[in-house]
Chains A and B, each alone.
Chain A
Amino acid sequence: MMRRFCAAALAGALLLAGAARAEDTLNPPHWQSEGLLGSYDKAALQRGFLVYQTVCASCHSANALHYRDLEGLGFSPAQVAAIASNVKLASGPATLDDVFKTPYPDSAAAAASFGGAVPPDLSDIVAARPGGPDYVYGLLTGYGTAPADVTLLPSHYYDAGYPGGQIAMPPPLKDGQVSYADGTQATAAQEAADVAAFLAWASAPNLDAAREIGLRAVLFLVFLAFLAIATKRKIWRETA
């Protein structure tokens, strides 16, 4: 009952937030926030959050994120409140001001679940890894059978996108694992691209604001520079 309510609430939220078609941006994956003036694709962020909440949040923490931050994905405050209240914390349902739920009470419990490999916190993972969202996408889509000359460590999997090739995380994404409200087909690659976009946002939620303010600031300063140069020349023409 609760599960259906959760899924319905999330799907409903996404539907309300607007439908968007995902282009075939997966080969190679394209990040709308790349480049000097790029901004986040909010539809991809919302899909990515759905993947994160369904798949990743069961093992990974994101201690720098609060549920109230999700308004940056384009959700309304009521939708965010609904999303938060679907999360069960030890003290009851989560509120807007709670930190994203930590799946393990401490890192020792986390290490015990994975034979010593603690799932890293994902708040800043895109900023911390060279390659950013490409790294996350490559890691999630790089799983495959190990080549003949590679001996897998126990409880490890072969992942061409992970440094060293052997990762302790089991392949997390499958086709159709979530159902996107905006109708985008949820292939494993699409899910990987969306969650990578979401994690890129998580690392830098103020990117859009920075670029918007920055554009205005630079244009203003260019204008001011012209004024300053013109004033200086006028003043200096008074010199004897």
Chain B
Amino acid sequence: MAEAADTETMGHGVAVPARRDFLKILTIASGAIGAGALVWPFIDALNPDADEDAVARPIVNVGGIAENTALSVNWNGQPIFIRKLTAQQIADNQFIVPDTLPDPASYADRVKPGYETFVVVVGLNTGVPCEVIGNDPADARGPFDGWQCPCDGSVYDPLGRVRGGPAPRNLAIPRFTFLDDSQIQFG
């Protein structure tokens, strides 16, 4: 049995790993990296695929929404209202001091920059859980021309901010982006 001297000692008495050990470590480490690179595609293949992404992050066309009406879509089980504001509604609500509101929020907080005529909110009352009404101009929208909850009487303005009634907070804003001026992607 060959007795291999597997360490050398330098002048300062510290043992240095022999070249064979360095080579072995390098080989094993490279092999581990290769194995990891091989395993990753299998794991990633079980992540949501492109069609599942499409369902999770749907794209909605908003170019056809008329002023003063709202489109209602369903996402993640919740009703989402996309409303196009009229110039009058913007003028009435743009300069209201946020601190005077039950849940302070400015105009800029409620719309996306560059797309200020669109308001996108989750259509659920923040008081008693109930779907608010007011998408169609003929609906009962309450005194602020926004939305009104038929269950507890909370009223909202066209930006979805609560103005009266028991609801404590403004209508929630979902996560979304504008792909261009007629398409919204949620998620």
Q: Touch between A and B in complex, CB under 8 Å?
A: yes
What string of 1s and 0s marks CB contacts (under 8 Å) between A198-231 and chain B? 0000000000000000000100110110011011
A239 to B2, CA, bound (A): 7
Q: Taking the nearest CB of chain B, how far is it from the CB of A79, in angstroms?
A: 9
Instruction: Let me know if A234 is at the binding interface, CB within 8 A.
Output: yes
> Would A227 and B26 be within 8 Å (CB), given that A85-B61, A235-B20 are in contact?
yes
B24→A81 contact, CB < 8 A? no
A78→B180 contact, CB < 8 A? yes
Instruction: Let me know if B1 is at the binding interface, CB within 8 A.
Output: yes
Q: For window 60-100 of chain A, which residues contact chain B by CB distance below 8 Å?
A: 66, 68, 77-78, 81-82, 85, 92-93, 95-97
> Would A231 and B24 be within 8 Å (CB), given that A82-B180, A92-B61, A95-B59 are in contact?
yes
* Residue in chain B with minimal CB distance to A221: B34
Instruction: Let me know if B4 is at the binding interface, CB within 8 A.
Output: yes
Instruction: Let me know if B11 is at the binding interface, CB within 8 A.
Output: no
> Would A97 and B34 be within 8 Å (CB), given that A81-B183, A227-B27, A240-B2 are in contact?
no
A residues less than 8 Å from B94 (CB atoms): none
A residues less than 8 Å from B24 (CB atoms): 231, 234-235
- Main secondary structure, interface of A, reads helix
Instruction: Let me know if A238 is at the binding interface, CB within 8 A.
Output: yes
B residues less than 8 Å from A217 (CB atoms): 37
A239 to B4, CA, bound (A): 10
* Residue in chain A with minimal CB distance to B33: A220
A234 to B183, CA, bound (A): 64
B residues less than 8 Å from A231 (CB atoms): 20, 23-24, 27
B residues less than 8 Å from A92 (CB atoms): 61, 64
Q: Taking the nearest CB of chain B, how far is it from the CB of A66, in angstroms?
A: 7
> Would A97 and B54 be within 8 Å (CB), given that A224-B30, A230-B23, A231-B27 are in contact?
yes
Residue from A95, A220, A223, A235 in contact with B183 in the complex, judged by beta carbons closer than 8 Å: A95
Q: For window 14-53 of chain B, which residues contact chain A by CB distance below 8 Å?
A: 19-20, 23-24, 26-27, 30-31, 34, 37, 50-51
User: What is the interface of chain B, defined by CB distance below 8 A to chain A?
Assistant: 1-2, 4, 19-20, 23-24, 26-27, 30-31, 34, 37, 50-51, 54, 58-61, 63-64, 179-180, 182-183, 185
Extra 6 A-B pairs, beta carbons < 8 Å, given A78-B179, A221-B34: A81-B180, A85-B180, A96-B59, A234-B19, A235-B20, A240-B1
